[in-house]
């Protein structure tokens, strides 16, 4: 396998239909479309790998690897994404806002967005037992670069502890809320012991990428299967 192999890390948010008052409708991928994405991946030979494999730059990846990630940890992931992942044989990495487990999306409601229920502890554990991995997305979903170093350190470190208690397994992966990070924030993520961290820079990952600043491919409501396939192709081609 080439050192230049590219690995698409897909970013989803919500699997469902946007409710009235949803401000970012593009973040809702319908359950039917999500299943068509998974069918496309399976039928074209993509194999799901763990984000940690990308971060560790392991050399035994399949020829067409893909990583499926979900930010925030909405309850619709349990109801809609999880059964589809199991059916199509893919794992996933869910970055959870640790302070919102069992609650609602308070950071989105604070800017006028529709209320969404978040995953509950039992759902997280059940998904974890069936191959879904969990990472941290901070405690409260702040813009980390706007916090003091002490406050950012607490968001990054405390959320890791909470996720480990919830899941009962090491929490090694992190996603920067809003894709907002800088060298100082990255250093805090390294200090907290994370091995992988995802940004929202749009590209397929390469083995030469900084494991604490991995790019992703943002998948949106309007990405019908043809558009989804084109995005994958374009991202992989750009990496060659
Ligand atoms: Zn987020």
Domain limits of the chain?
A: 6-238
Distances 55 to 16, 40, 84, 186, 191 between C-alpha atoms, Å: 30, 25, 26, 14, 16
Buried b (16+ CB within 10 A) or exposed e, 141-154: bbebeebeeeebbb
Q: What is the whole-number distance in angstroms between the Cα of residue 220 and the centre of ligand 1?
A: 14
CA distance 204 to 209: 10
Which homologous superfamily is 6-238 in? Glycoside hydrolase/deacetylase (3.20.20.370)
Q: What is the whole-number distance in angstroms between the Cα of residue 178 and the centre of ligand 1?
A: 6
Spatial neighbors of 88 by CB under 8 A, at least 6 apart, are 35, 38, 39, 41, 42
Q: Which residues place a Cβ less than 5 A from the ion ligand 1?
A: 71-72, 177
Q: What is the whole-number distance in angstroms between the Cα of residue 63 and the centre of ligand 1?
A: 30
CA distance 121 to 235: 35
Q: What is the whole-number distance in angstroms between the Cα of residue 112 and the centre of ligand 1?
A: 16
Q: What is the whole-number distance in angstroms between the Cα of residue 5 and the centre of ligand 1?
A: 28
Instruction: Give per-residue pLDDT as tens, 118-158.
Output: 999 999 999 999 999 999 999 999 999 999 999 999 999 99
Give me the mean pLDDT over the 78-83 stretch.
98
pLDDT exceeds 60 at position 240? no
Identity of the highest mean pLDDT range in 4-13, 155-164, 203-212: 155-164
Q: Which residues pair with 198 in a beta bridge?
A: 175, 214
Q: What is the whole-number distance in angstroms between the Cα of residue 215 and the centre of ligand 1?
A: 15
**DSSP percent split of the chain into helix, strand, coil, nearest 5:** 40, 20, 40
| Residue of higher predicted confidence among 57 and 233 | 233
Q: What is the whole-number distance in angstroms between the Cα of residue 97 and the centre of ligand 1?
A: 8
pLDDT exceeds 50 at position 211? yes
Q: What is the whole-number distance in angstroms between the Cα of residue 39 and the centre of ligand 1?
A: 26
């Amino acid at each position: 396998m080439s050192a230049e192999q590219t690995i698409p890390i897909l970013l989803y948010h919500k699997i469902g239909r946007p409710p009235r008052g949803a401000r970012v409708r593009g973040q809702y991928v319908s359950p039917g479309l999500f299943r068509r994405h998974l069918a496309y991946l399976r039928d074209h030979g993509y194999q799901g790998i763990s984000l940690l494999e990308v971060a560790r730059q392991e050399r035994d990846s399949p020829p067409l690897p893909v990583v499926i990630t979900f930010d925030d940890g909405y309850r619709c992931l349990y109801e809609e994404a999880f059964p589809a992942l199991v059916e199509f044989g893919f794992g996933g990495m869910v970055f959870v806002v640790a302070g919102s487990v069992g609650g609602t999306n308070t950071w989105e409601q604070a800017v006028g967005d529709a209320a969404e229920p978040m995953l509950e502890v039992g759902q997280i554990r059940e998904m974890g037992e069936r191959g879904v991995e969990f990472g941290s997305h901070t405690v409260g979903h702040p813009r980390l670069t706007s916090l003091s170093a002490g406050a950012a350190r607490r968001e990054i470190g405390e959320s890791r502890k909470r996720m480990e208690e919830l899941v009962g397994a090491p929490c090694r992966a992190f996603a920067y809320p809003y894709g907002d990070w800088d060298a100082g924030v990255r250093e805090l993520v390294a200090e907290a012991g994370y091995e992988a961290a995802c940004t929202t820079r749009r590209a397929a990952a390469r083995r030469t990428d900084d494991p604490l600043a991995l790019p992703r491919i943002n998948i949106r409501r309007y990405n019908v299967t043809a558009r989804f396939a084109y995005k994958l192709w374009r991202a992989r081609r750009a990496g060659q």
